[in-house]
Amino acid sequence: MIYMRSSKSFMKLIFFAIGLCISGNLFSQEFIVTAGGLRNRTDTSKKFVMIGIGNHSAKQLYDQTLRYIAVHYEDSGKAIRARWDTVDLMFDTYVYDFLVYNNTGARLGIEARYTTEMRFYPDSVRYEIIFLDMKGQASNYRLLFKGKWLKSYIVFKENGKLFKPQTKADIENHFNDELYRITQFLKQDPNGG
């Protein structure tokens, strides 16, 4: 038998449980940085996340993504790498000020080039970063998820131990913010109403 001291305690417990459920749903649509690269936060064996949209056909989601690229990319025609019969779409992104890497006190700018692949289904989209190249703005050093410290900029050491927690967080924030923006755009009424 469980005894409650007050109804306030019970309400706090209910709100906590609801918060856990909501945060669990949000995390299912996020990336996490691992030593092996970007992964699905809830299933790190997957390199992609599924975006649940609801009430949209695969064609509507494809067309809405083309509109997103047209709005958010200066030269959208060059950004789109490949299209496949309104089922799949790949596009390239370049970010000059991707993040700042703290290298033993020196703060170094990192730029990034990456390719996003989206696969469209009724009511959902499979979203994956299939190519990612991060490099110093003023050097030839690459930022790697895992590697040797003196040969490149790294997030994790070769043994898999986290080396740069802030860099890990910065990469996650960039891709999760982008994922959020495109999700919100895709949820808009495809008919403009």
Q: What is the DSSP string of 8-33?
A: HHHHHHHHHHHHHHHHHHHHTT-EEE
- Among candidate residues 175, 41, 166, the one with its CA nearest the CA of residue 103: 166
Task: Report if residue 137 sits inside a domain.
Answer: yes
What's the mean pLDDT when you consider all of the chain? 84
CATH code: domain of residue 115: 3.30.530.80
Does residue 78 sit within a domain? yes
**Residue whose structure tokens are 């802030």:** 166
Close Cβ partners of 75 (under 8 Å, ≥ 6 residues apart)? none
Read off the pLDDT of each residue in 2-6 and give the average, rounded to a whole number. 35
Please indicate, yes or no, if residue 26 is contained in any of the structural domains.
no
Cα separation of 175 and 178, whole Å? 5
Is 5 among the domain residues? no
Residue 15 resides in a domain: no
Domain membership of residue 167 (yes or no) is yes
Q: Which two tokens stand for residue 116?
A: 């996003």
Q: CA-to-CA distance for 15 and 150, rounded, in angstroms? A: 48
**Helical H runs in the chain?**
7-27, 58-72, 76-79, 165-186
Q: Please, which residues bridge with residue 129 across strands?
A: 116
Alpha helices in 28-154 (DSSP H): 58-72, 76-79
- Its pTM stands at 0.81
pLDDT in tens, 140-174: 899 999 998 777 999 999 999 999 999 999 999 99
The count of structural domains within the chain is 1
The amino acid that residue 100 corresponds to is V
- Per-residue pLDDT of 113-133, as tens digits, reads 999 999 999 999 999 999 999
pLDDT tens-digit profile of 65-90? 999 999 998 887 788 887 766 679 99
**Distance between CA atoms of residues 105 and 101, nearest Å:** 9
Which residue range forms the structural domain that includes residue 101? 43-186
Helix axes of 58-72 and 165-186: crossing angle, nearest 10 degrees: 120
Pull the structure tokens for residue 81.
Answer: 């790498």
CA atoms within 13 A on the CB side of 114: 20
